Amino acid sequence: MSYLLNHQVFASQDLHQARDVLSHLNSIDALDVIGTNRDVDVAIHFAELADIGLIYASFGTGRIHIKTPSIDEEDLFFMFVTGGSAQVRHGKHECNISPDLGLIRNMRVPLSATEDNFSTLGTQLSLSVLRAHAQALTGQDIIHNDLVFGPELDLKRPETQHVRNTLQYVANALDGPLTQFDNPQVRSELRDMLLTNILMLLPNSYSDVLNGKPAGVAMPHYVKRARDYIHAHAAQSIGLQELVAYSGCSYRTLQSAFGEAFGMAPMAYARIVRLTGAHNDLLTAQQGDTVATIARKWGFGHVGRFSGMYARQFDVVPSETLRRRL
């Protein structure tokens, strides 16, 4: 089933034209046909709803391979598969997406996929929009806390099915009645409904607070202290011993509670924070900046080891990120 038919921005059966247009529309680096079925039938439909975008994309009946680079935008793309399947590599995460399993893409992380008879409906949202809406829902000052979603959309969960159904409802409303009349209040309510469903029903780092659990239950104070210390000293080489001392609890307690809150050990979290800081600096680099100077700024004294960790995290070497920027 297609969506947003009245909002088509591109359609072509010409592979070269599709490559050229998609490189600008979706920042797709590569679009290649695989196998004997060389037919390409690309369609992109796009509609705006205030500060969020809804996108429907289809690629025909054949098998194609696409690559998209990291993009200097603090956005997430919530992708629900409407037809076919795809083998996806998103940074370090690999999965097979289908109508039963969608993907939440961090737009700052490169993605490659091999797609079969593939189509998708999704929405691209700024993290700042999601954080602001979460603060409006809770009335709490959580806007500066990290908002993190898992990479997968499990459609076996009734909650995830409801989010997908809400997205479909909003897409149909934009393509139907709202093409005949433009009511700002109705559009605003559709936007808020979609944001509320995503925040309340998809597991994320705000879930406990959004669902009324005390913040202390969601994250012990010593975990918060450790997390805040990591962010405040991200450009330094933080040692586990000093992190344990600052948090005010035992090593074993911190390891266990931090893993429960963030799904990883505190030193792994610190490494990702430092790598992300370096990644953002490479994306916004100026003339004269080098991989070595940026690596050292974020506490990585050995450029070779930094490059290896960076490539494993973002699926691209840092010199390539810098080259694209400059």
Beta strands in the chain (DSSP E): 8-12, 30-34, 42-49, 52-58, 63-68, 75-90, 93-97, 101-106, 111-126, 152-154
pLDDT value for 325: 62
Q: Quickly state the pLDDT bin for 144 (edges 50, 70, 90).
A: low
Lowest mean pLDDT among 54-63, 138-147, 269-278: 138-147
Q: Is the pLDDT of residue 80 over 50?
A: yes
Name which of 322, 269, 316, 315 is nearest 295 in CA terms: 322
Cβ–Cβ < 8 Å for 52, 125: yes
Residue ranges of domains in the chain, CATH in brackets: 5-207 (2.60.120.10), 219-325 (1.10.10.60)
* pLDDT, tens digit (0-9, with 9 covering 90-100), for 41-73: 899 999 988 889 999 999 988 899 999 888 777
pTM, two decimal places:
0.67
pLDDT value for 142: 65
Q: Which two tokens stand for residue 53?
A: 């975008």
Question: What is d(CA 66, CA 16) in angstroms, rounded to the nearest whole number?
Answer: 14
% of the chain beyond a pLDDT of 70: 92
DSSP state of 73: S
Q: Is the pLDDT of residue 288 over 50?
A: yes
Q: Is the pLDDT of residue 187 over 80?
A: yes
Q: Is the pLDDT of residue 138 over 80?
A: no
Lowest mean pLDDT among 61-65, 82-86, 158-162, 284-288: 284-288
Instruction: Tell me which residue has tokens 């999601």.
Output: 130
Cβ–Cβ < 8 Å for 116, 70: no
Q: Is the pLDDT of residue 300 over 70?
A: yes
pLDDT value for 186: 81
* pLDDT, tens digit (0-9, with 9 covering 90-100), for 207-219: 888 877 554 445 7
Question: What is d(CA 149, CA 104) in angstroms, rounded to the nearest whole number?
Answer: 8
Q: Is the pLDDT of residue 101 over 90?
A: yes
Helix axes 251-262, 240-247, angle to 10 degrees: 90
* pLDDT, tens digit (0-9, with 9 covering 90-100), for 213-251: 554 445 788 888 898 888 888 887 788 888 889 989 998
